[in-house]
Amino acid sequence: MPHRKLRSAREEKGFASAAEAARHFGWPIPTYCAHENGTRGIRRDAAIKYAKAYGIQAAALLGLSTGSQPRHDVALTPIVARCEWGVWRDMRIDSAAALGVVPDPYAGQGRFGVAVADDSVSRRIAPGSIAICDPFDLSGLTVSSLVVIQRTQADYLVETTIRRVSEIKGSMVTLTPDSKSGIYADILTVDADQPNAESIIGIVVGVYTPLT
């Protein structure tokens, strides 16, 4: 289990407790302790940070194979929406269940996929690919991050897009297109602490491109 591997890595480095290690590396103590005792899942970015500090591989920390043998037990992440600029879907009849799943060795803890159906984010993600996303957390947001935003009309019409973070001021986040095409131009400013008709629902952490 990842939390047991994390504890072992900390003990091998000579730290007597999780709190001691967190203070040494400057990590939030409650978050690190929750990761180590298994009450909170370890995201990929956190695994990379811990692995670097402890001198191990992130894949080993998460229990993934680091050798050349393929894994046959990779978990699946559900695809929950399509990224389509200007397309409003009726969520009463457009079920996400039909969108499928993608293989993801880090699946779990609310991770989800978004199918990119247009070129609105073509600088970073090609049409036909799947954006792998973690649930939105303002503390994990940085300028240039890609985020999934949903805009709602009449309580059931939803547009899903992926945009680049261009500015963060407190909870106010400015989002811009990240496309090679000039047809996507509108800029949004969203209050991340007050989800309403425009809400950030996830942060893109990876891309899955199906073989064609």
Tokens of 73: 């037990």
Sign of the torsion angle spanned by Cα atoms 170, 148, 135, 5: negative
| Residue 69 falls inside a structural domain | no
Residue 67 lies in a domain: no
Same domain? 56 vs 80: no
Q: Tell whether 27 is covered by a domain.
A: yes
The pLDDT score that the predictor gives to residue 65 is 42
Q: What is the pLDDT of residue 67?
A: 44
Domain tally, the chain? 2
Can you give the residue range of the structural domain that contains 142?
76-208
- Predicted confidence at residue 74, as pLDDT, reads 52
Task: Tell me the pLDDT tens digit for each residue of 71-95.
Answer: 444 567 888 889 999 999 887 666 5
Domain co-membership, 97 together with 176: yes
| Average pLDDT per consecutive 10 residues, the chain (212 residues; last block may be shorter) | 82 91 88 78 76 78 49 66 89 61 68 91 93 88 93 85 95 93 89 84 88 58
Residues 134 and 198 in one domain: yes
The closest of 76, 113, 96, 109 to 206, measured between CA atoms, is 113
**One domain for residues 120 and 21:** no
Q: Are residues 130 and 175 in the same domain?
A: yes
CATH number for 44: 1.10.260.40
| Boundary (domain end) residue, out of 61, 90, 107 | 61
pLDDT value of residue 66: 44
Three-point CA angle 159, 166, 182, nearest 5°: 60
> What pLDDT is recorded for position 149?
93
Instruction: Give yes or no: residues 105 and 166 share one domain.
Output: yes
End-to-end CA distance of the chain: 34
pLDDT at 146: 95
* Domain membership flag for residue 132: yes
- Classify residue 97 as exposed, middle or buried by CB count within 10 Å of its CB (0-12, 13-18, 19+): exposed
For residues 133 and 173, give the distance between their C-alpha atoms in angstroms, rounded to a whole number: 18
Judgement on whether residues 116 and 170 belong to the same structural domain of the protein: yes
Asked if residue 37 and residue 6 are part of one domain, the reply reads: yes
Asked if residue 147 and residue 53 are part of one domain, the reply reads no
Q: For the chain, give percent helix, strand, coil, nearest 5.
A: 25, 30, 45
Is residue 68 one of the residues assigned to a domain? no
